[in-house]
């Protein structure tokens, strides 16, 4: 099944590389202090690389959202089904018990359903909630003059920073879990092949 068109594969590879760069440079800035003056890449260099990578991330994100608005791919992200919660529980049970007993995937991939309910909710939360908040808070830190000075007596810059590192933390955890769940296809390498070649191999094939 051809499920990953060229544009989504191009978006994904740029997104994955940029994420890794942002995590390494973000951690470098976080843990650099007077004693630890050069944590991984050093503060000044980390800031430069982080800012550049963030601009690439924003452009790539605009490309992703536009692609999803203009093509059929956006329909895979729709969460509107009544039994979404019970489907989510089914998928969760499969990941925690069923798959170890050799049961079949409860929501096999079809042309109409590329993602199982758990993938869908995590992709929507990551792509349509966490990344926009990450970008908005990042812009607030890049351009402090546009950030509100105080909010209920607390520095606006500190609140923006907390939001930014919290989203960065959640997205880093998302990425680790995402890469793990991507090993749970028909074979451990099947889903990785899919996002490189464009073709998904299901259990039946
Ligand atoms: C080294 C890092 C990464 C690897 C190895 C990886 C691997 C994969 C694989 C194998 C798939 C295909 C399986 C599927 O459709 O679920 C996929 C799809 C996807 N990944 Fe990743 N990923 C990485 C990073 C990321 C990051 C950082 C994000 C977002 C923050 C992300 C978001 C997505 C999305 C939204 C899809 C579905 C795209 C679509 O078909 O519309 N991935 N990834």
pTM over 0.85: yes
Model confidence pLDDT, tens digit, residues 127-173: 999 999 999 999 999 998 888 888 888 888 999 999 999 999 999 99
Q: Which residue's CA is minimally distant from atom 40 of ligand 1?
A: 4
Q: Which of 5-9, 68-72, 102-106 has the lowest average pLDDT?
A: 102-106
Determine what percent of the chain is predicted with pLDDT higher than 90: 77
Decide if pLDDT at 205 tops 60.
no
Q: Where are the domains of the chain?
A: 6-197
Cα(113)–Cα(95) distance, integer angstroms: 18
CA distance 105 to 91: 8
| Nearest CA-CA partner of 64 in 134, 121, 8 | 8
61 lines ligand 1 (CB under 6 A): no
Nearest-CA neighbor of 179 among 55, 12, 63? 12
User: What CATH superfamily is the domain 6-197?
Assistant: Transmembrane di-heme cytochromes, Chain C (1.20.950.20)
Ligand 1 centroid distance, CA of 37 (Å): 34
- From the alpha carbon of 77, which atom of ligand 1 is closest? 41
In ligand 1, the atom with minimum distance to the C-alpha of 4 is: 40
In this prediction, residue 148 carries a pLDDT of 82
């Amino acid at each position: 099944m051809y499920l990953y068109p060229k544009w989504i594969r191009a978006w994904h590879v740029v997104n994955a590389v940029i994420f890794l760069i942002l995590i390494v440079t973000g951690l470098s800035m976080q843990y650099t202090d007077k004693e630890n003056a050069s944590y991984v890449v050093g503060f000044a260099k980390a800031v430069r690389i982080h800012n550049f990578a963030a601009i690439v991330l924003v452009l790539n994100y605009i490309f992703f959202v536009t692609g999803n608005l203009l093509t059929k791919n956006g329909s895979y992200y729709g969460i509107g089904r009544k039994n979404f919660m019970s489907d989510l529980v089914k998928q969760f049970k499969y990941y925690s018990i069923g798959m170890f007993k050799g049961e079949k995937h409860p929501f096999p991939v079809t042309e109409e359903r590329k993602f199982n309910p758990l993938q869908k909710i995590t992709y929507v939360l990551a792509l349509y909630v966490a990344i926009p908040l990450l970008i908005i808070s990042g812009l607030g830190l890049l351009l402090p003059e546009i950030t509100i000075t105080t909010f209920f007596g607390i520095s606006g810059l500190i609140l923006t920073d907390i939001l930014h590192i919290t989203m960065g933390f959640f997205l880093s955890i998302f990425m680790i879990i995402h890469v793990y769940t991507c090993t749970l296809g028909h074979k451990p390498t099947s889903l990785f092949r899919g996002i490189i070649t464009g073709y998904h191999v299901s259990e039946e094939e």
